A = this chain, B = another copy of it.
């Protein structure tokens, strides 16, 4: 990893397994579509990478509306992985995405281990896909999804199958809805994962008291946003100490300061999710804040900050 000298300004470049990102800021899955949707609002080339909306083999229509509801400092969503399917993505969107200087990471979904493997194989053969994020943690589908992410054995099976099906960096995305995240981090490492995304949304429920029905048509949903940040930072810290592979921190990042918490906790890179909806240009602000911080603290690069938390015990 070419860590520039402070003179040349701190380096934001990071390595995620075989993948090198020009900066550690990624747009999280499900919050930036297939990238092209936001290309006119934010310059994709300023991002280290974008993670696509979850993709199965076939197209899916997702849940009924309402699909999103705001909660205190949070967003509860049950989209249900509406998507065009991996083939349409490869044929229609990927070519447009390649015009931008940013890493393209496909968020892989499946109802069976075989589907995960097949989607991964198709994505891997397409030119312009840089890595696979394995979504074993979506709380908003009735089959698959989170079921794979709360059982260490199933987690291992899915990751191992994808590992066999692809030579791209494999990045399982963990569910926070577990007692001990380190168990799942280790299962992923043993199954051959190159990195770990930490974390997906927390299972929540919001109720409309007048109708006595859930506010979301699906019922429960996944909680994201600043509300969950302290929990996501804690899990990132736990996971980073449990495994050797890099951790991508995710959860409630709304400023450079928030991102710094994840790096210090042990993240090698971070993803911004919910805040894409209200602050599409937040990346420039975060990048500026990181450079300023690294300069003030005389660090050669962001990689030198990862895992520097001074924990009391």
A contact residues vs B (CB 8 Å cutoff): 71-74, 76, 150, 177-180, 202-207, 209, 211-214, 217-221, 223, 225-231, 233-234, 237, 252, 254, 257, 260-261, 264-265, 293, 308-313
Please measure, in the bound complex, the distance between the C-alpha atom of A205 and the C-alpha atom of B225, giving whole angstroms. Answer: 15
A205 to chain B, nearest CB (A): 4
A308 to chain B, nearest CB (A): 5
Please measure, in the bound complex, the distance between the C-alpha atom of A56 and the C-alpha atom of B24, giving whole angstroms. Answer: 47
Docked-complex contact A213 and B310, CB < 8 angstroms: yes
| Interchain CB contact (< 8 A) of A233 among B207, B213, B313 | B207
Please measure, in the bound complex, the distance between the C-alpha atom of A3 and the C-alpha atom of B228, giving whole angstroms. Answer: 40
A222 to chain B, nearest CB (A): 10
Closest-by-CB residue of B relative to A71 is B230
Q: Which of A180, A207, A213 has the most CB of B within 10 A?
A: A207
Query: Which residues from chain B contact A177 at a C-beta distance below 8 Å?
Result: 179
Query: Which residues from chain B contact A74 at a C-beta distance below 8 Å?
Result: 73, 227, 230
Docked-complex contact B207 and A309, CB < 8 angstroms: yes
Docked-complex contact A206 and B230, CB < 8 angstroms: yes
Query: Which residues from chain B contact A204 at a C-beta distance below 8 Å?
Result: 230-231, 233-234
Query: Which residues from chain B contact A213 at a C-beta distance below 8 Å?
Result: 309-312
Query: Which residues from chain B contact A228 at a C-beta distance below 8 Å?
Result: 227
Known contacts: A177-B179, A213-B309. The answer to whether A207 contacts B264 by CB under 8 A is yes
Closest-by-CB residue of B relative to A234 is B205
Known contacts: A71-B229, A213-B309, A219-B313. The answer to whether A205 contacts B257 by CB under 8 A is no
Query: Which residues from chain B contact A310 at a C-beta distance below 8 Å?
Result: 211-213
Known A178-B179, A214-B312; 10 more pairs at CB < 8 Å: A73-B73, A73-B226, A202-B231, A204-B234, A206-B233, A209-B264, A212-B264, A221-B230, A223-B231, A226-B227
27 example contacts (A-B, Cβ-Cβ < 8 A) are as follows A71-B229, A71-B230, A72-B72, A72-B225, A72-B254, A73-B73, A73-B74, A73-B226, A76-B230, A150-B179, A177-B179, A178-B179, A179-B179, A202-B231, A203-B231, A204-B231, A204-B233, A205-B230, A206-B230, A207-B233, A207-B264, A207-B309, A209-B257, A212-B309, A213-B311, A214-B311, A226-B227
Query: Which residues from chain B contact A230 at a C-beta distance below 8 Å?
Result: 71, 74, 76, 202, 204-206, 221, 223
Docked-complex contact B312 and A209, CB < 8 angstroms: no
Please measure, in the bound complex, the distance between the C-alpha atom of A8 and the C-alpha atom of B283, giving whole angstroms. Answer: 59
| Interchain CB contact (< 8 A) of A308 among B212, B214, B223, B237 | B212
Please measure, in the bound complex, the distance between the C-alpha atom of A150 and the C-alpha atom of B182, giving whole angstroms. Answer: 15
| Interchain CB contact (< 8 A) of A219 among B221, B254, B264, B311 | B311
